[in-house]
Structure 1
Amino acid sequence: MADYPELLHTVINAVEPRRLAEFYRQLLGYRYRPGDEPSVGTDADDADWLVLTNAEGRRMVAVQQTESLEPSTWPDLAVPMQLHLDFTVVDQKELVRHKLRALELGARLLLDRAEDEDEPLYVFADPAGHPFCIFVH
């Protein structure tokens, strides 16, 4: 028996769960949990709960449907962050590469601190408006 609870995955709300799950699947190289893959040969997707796993099958991110979601306006505090995710890369070259990938996948750049000597980073909003960071660690 464990002494503490163990994190299973992080759950993110989205009005369009498939769109957001696909964004994170491509951005992070994750896979759909068996049974959560997009339906083949149909445009309809009524999925309201999707789970993404790493290559070993460990749950990493889940996306849950919600009827409405007001995107964060960070850094303006009118609508604060309810959650944000941090992702790390090994160096500046990888930081720039993943910035371009995130933008191609539909992220919006919120803050560019790529030239910061102590902690180069970018802050983005995902397609549903949730902020996330990619930084050199």
Structure 2
Amino acid sequence: MIGSLESLVIDCPDTRELARFYSKLLGLEIVMYDDDWAEIVAADGGRPIIAFQQVEAYNPPQWPSQEVPQQMHLDVKVDDLDVGEAAVLELGATATGAGTATFRVYRDPAGHPFCLVNPAD
């Protein structure tokens, strides 16, 4: 195992609206939200979380058509970003070069984005 699931991140036009919807649908608690990002978790605060990421000029998925595919990605928590990076690259991931001191963005072998994260505790 390289890491553990930290969050599922869903693109959306309105983080507050979607967080409220899924909070009520799943019985999860909203732990933070603003215009760009929102998070919901189980009442015990455990992981993984569901996060909502605001996207400008959002185009909703056109399921089952793939003209506009589903829009979400996984955040995988690792103890060390460098060690995690080496491991996912060996598995066939591609580094995008995007990220910060606490996360890095990759593409899986089919091109789906995912992040390795090492959030500040």
Q: When the two structures are superposed, what TM-score results if normalisation uses the length of structure 2?
A: 0.52
Q: Which residue of 1 aligns with 2:64?
A: 75
Aligned-residue offset at 1:66: 1.3
- How many percent identity over aligned positions? 39
Q: Which amino acid aligns with 1:48?
A: D
Aligned partner (choices 48, 56, 61) of residue 44 of structure 2: 56
**1:68-107 residue pairs with structure 2 within 5 A?**
68-83=57-72
Runs of 4+ in 1 over 6 A off after TM superposition: none
1:77-135 Cα deviation digits (max 9, x unpaired): 22222349xxxxxxxxxxxxxxxxxxxxxxxxxxxxxxxxxxxxxxxxxxxxxxxxxxx
- Cα distance in 2 for residues equivalent to 1:63 and 1:74: 19
| 1:47 alignment partner AA | D
Give the structure 2 partner of residue 110 of structure 1: none
**Pairwise CA distance, 1:13:** 1.3
**CA RMSD, 1 decimal:** 2.1
Paired residue type of 2:35: A
The CA distance in 1 between the partners of 2:67 and 2:29, in whole Å, is 35
User: Are residues 13 and 82 of structure 1, via their aligned partners in 2, closer, same or farther at CA, if it must alter by over 3 Å?
Assistant: closer
Q: Distance in 2 between matches of 1:70 and 1:9?
A: 22
Shift of 1:75: 1.1
- Could you tell me whether the CA contact under 8 Å between 2:28 and 2:42 is conserved in 1? yes
Q: Return 5+ residue gaps in structure 2 as ranges.
A: 74-121
Query: 17, 20, 29: which one pairs with 2:18?
Result: 20
Query: How far apart, CA to CA, are the structure 1 residues paired with 2:72 and 2:27?
Result: 21
Which residue type is aligned with residue 49 of structure 1?
Answer: W
The answer to whether the 8 Å contact 2:11/2:71 transfers is no
Please tell me whether Structure 1 or Structure 2 has the larger radius of gyration of its CA atoms. Answer: 1
Structure 1: how far apart are the matches of 2:8 and 2:50? 5
Structure with the larger strand share: 2
